[in-house]
Amino acid sequence: MARDRSDKIFVFPRWTWVLRPGFAAAVAGGLLYAALIVWLGFSPKTTDVGYAPEQPVPYSHALHVGQLGIDCRYCHNTVEQAAHAAVPPTQTCMNCHAMVRKESEKLIGVRASYASGMPIGWIRVHDLPDYVYFDHTAHVRRGIGCVSCHGRIDSMDVVYQFAPLSMGWCLDCHRNPERHLRPVEFVFQLDWVPEEDQLALGRRLGEAGGINPPVDCNTCHR
């Protein structure tokens, strides 16, 4: 016959009751901490900003654009007519380098590409997802300078991603375009600075050009 052990049940002492709210707070805090880490860890500001892949040819924008003054459109010659800014073919490089520093070791990949007819395998830095539609023409023709998205690329020896290019970042610009608008003749002048308050200038340019960027989903997701 089994013995009655009811008098042997352990009863937690009263002082342990204070542990219950502390334990609940620790669990809630842990979940909040985990959510914060995931949110920050997967944010484009963490994963994308500063991305600077090693390219097959060491091309310096600081030299070519900043020092030599080559216009963005010389290499990216479709930026005013097409949605995509063209990656220059090897022939564009050889227009100069057939005569300039033509024996440089840094240009081995360029010369090999030109001889074989195979394009240089440039690695895209500013790479939007396939489900996002972006039109360079719509922006540069309305006065959005290269700097707004790409930063001072004329000072970069190695190109890196300057902005997160996230949906929230794009929407913020569409809702407040006056912070970035400039006269269209200065879109490709990377060192341009306004001679008056940027917001006042941007509002005036926006009103004059009827600029009211849409924020509905099918603007970018078509």
Give the C-alpha separation, 166 to 172, whole Å. 10
Give the C-alpha separation, 123 to 130, whole Å. 16
Hey, what amino acid is at 165?
L
Hey, what amino acid is at 97?
H
CB-CB contact of 142 with 182 (8 Å): no
Give the C-alpha separation, 121 to 130, whole Å. 20
pTM of the model: 0.78
At residue 181, φ and ψ (nearest 5 deg) are: -65, 140
Both tokens of 132, joined, read 């996002």
Q: Where are the domains of the chain?
A: 19-48, 78-86+126-219
Hey, what amino acid is at 153?
I
pLDDT digits (tens, 9 = 90+) for 142-197: 999 999 999 999 999 999 999 999 999 999 999 999 999 999 999 999 999 999 99
Give the C-alpha separation, 170 to 163, whole Å. 10
pLDDT digits (tens, 9 = 90+) for 72-105: 999 999 999 999 999 999 999 999 999 999 999 9
Q: N- to C-terminal Cα distance for the chain?
A: 78
